[in-house]
Amino acid sequence: MNKNQIKKLVQTNELLVKQFGIPKRPEKLPDPVDMLIATILSQNTNDNNSYRAFEKLKKRYKTWNEVADARRTSIEKEIKVAGLGLQKSTAIKNVLTELLQKKNKISLDHLKDINNESAINELTNYKGVGVKTASCVLLFSLGKNICPVDTHVHRTVNRIGIVKGSTPDKTFIYLNENFPSKIAHKFHTNLIRLGREICKPRNPSCGICPLKSVCSYESKELQNVKTTSEKSFMLLDNVV
Ligand code: SF4
């Protein structure tokens, strides 16, 4: 990002904090393997369903080693509520098995000591782990200053005009180049809330948006003042 883009990002962050506050974080960050599995479960479903699937899996198996040894179909049965059972159970079994083969233990603690780029490269080498999943592990469990880009973040930062990326993965690259220090968690979390409650995919409620003075979206719907009262439960800050 250039200076102007960074300035716009910082301004956006300040307006979002004014509107939504500083999102809470758990005092002790969750284990990165827990976070990886929770993020795989969260793909294409809502936070409540993926949280229920994660809890069921943790209740059924005492350790991730047990999950690695389990039959894929048994894992699929436990995570059914999160949808895409075949795809997600395959990815979970695969990543745990590969970790065991490569590191002799199921742990991602070593990622704390390497830079973001190397950590993302390592994680995305596991089948079924994309850039968004990898960056969620870095932000939510390793406390790195990195902003994952899901569909809400992709849509909102492009509309606001902070970066222009044609896909979430391109947006991720542009956004995380020179990302301002210490604000990734609040920026990411508040943007998702904005995307769910105000800057929705269709008919954004620009009339009540705290960013309307800085947003460059050409099709602003300033007459739309509808509020959506979403529950602000965020899965990835509730993985324990
Ligand atoms: S002004 Fe409208 S388009 Fe821009 S961020 Fe707000 S809701 Fe989204």
Give the DSSP per-residue string, 140-158: HTT--S-----HHHHHHHH
Is 154 found in the same domain as 123? no
Domains contained in the chain, number: 2
Determine which residue's CA is closest to atom 8 belonging to ligand 1: 199
Query: Looking at 121, 140, 159, which one is the last position of a domain?
Result: 140
3-class secondary structure per residue, 91-134: HHHHHHHHHHHHHCCCCCHHHHHCCHHHHHHHHHCCCCCCHHHH
Question: At residue 107, what is the residue type?
Answer: S
Statement: residue 8 has pLDDT above 90: yes
**Which of 205, 209, 224 gets mutated to test ligand 1 (max ligand atoms within 8 A of its CB)?**
209
Query: Looking at 140, 172, 202, which one is the last position of a domain?
Result: 140
Taking Cα atoms as reference points, which of 176, 184, 221, 218 lies closest to residue 1? 176
Is 158 found in the same domain as 124? no
Contacts within 8 Å (CB) and 24+ apart, 28-32: 29/140, 29/141, 29/142, 29/143, 30/140, 30/141, 30/239, 30/240, 31/141, 32/108, 32/109, 32/111, 32/137, 32/141, 32/142
**Which of 215, 224, 226 gets mutated to test ligand 1 (max ligand atoms within 8 A of its CB)?**
215
Indicate if 56 belongs to the active site: no
Interaxial angle between packed helices 184-197 and 131-140, expressed in degrees from 0 to 180 and rounded to the nearest 10: 120
Is 36 found in the same domain as 21? no
Is 129 found in the same domain as 42? yes
Dig out the tokens for 136 from the structure.
Answer: 């969620």
Is 50 found in the same domain as 82? yes
Q: Say how far apart CA 143 and CA 141 lie, in whole Å.
A: 6
Dig out the tokens for 173 from the structure.
Answer: 């690259």
Is 156 found in the same domain as 134? no
Is 37 found in the same domain as 78? yes
Q: Report the percentage of the chain scoring pLDDT > 90.
A: 89
Residue among 132, 144, 186, 212 flagged as catalytic = 132
Distance from the alpha carbon of residue 44 to the mean position of ligand 1, in angstroms: 24
Is 123 found in the same domain as 41? yes
Q: Which residue has better confidence, 43 or 18?
A: 18
Is 129 found in the same domain as 37? yes
Question: What distance, in Å, lies between the first and last C-alpha atoms of the chain?
Answer: 34
Residues 148-191: tens digit of each pLDDT: 999 999 999 999 999 999 999 999 999 999 999 999 999 999 99
Is 41 found in the same domain as 134? yes
Residues 103-142: tens digit of each pLDDT: 999 999 999 999 999 999 999 999 889 999 999 999 999 9
Question: At residue 76, what is the residue type?
Answer: E
Domain boundaries, position 108: 32-140
Q: What is the CA radius of gyration of the chain?
A: 18
Is 72 found in the same domain as 9? no
Q: Which atom belonging to ligand 1 lies closest to the Cα atom of 215?
A: 4
Is 104 found in the same domain as 80? yes
- Record the pTM: 0.91
Taking Cα atoms as reference points, which of 178, 187, 175 lies closest to residue 11? 187
Q: Which atom belonging to ligand 1 lies closest to the Cα atom of 209?
A: 6
CATH number of the domain enclosing 92: 1.10.340.30
Ligand 1-lining residues (CB < 6 angstroms) = 156, 159-160, 198-199, 204-206, 209, 211-212, 215, 217, 220
- Sole residue written with tokens 């950590």: 119
Statement: residue 44 has pLDDT above 70: yes
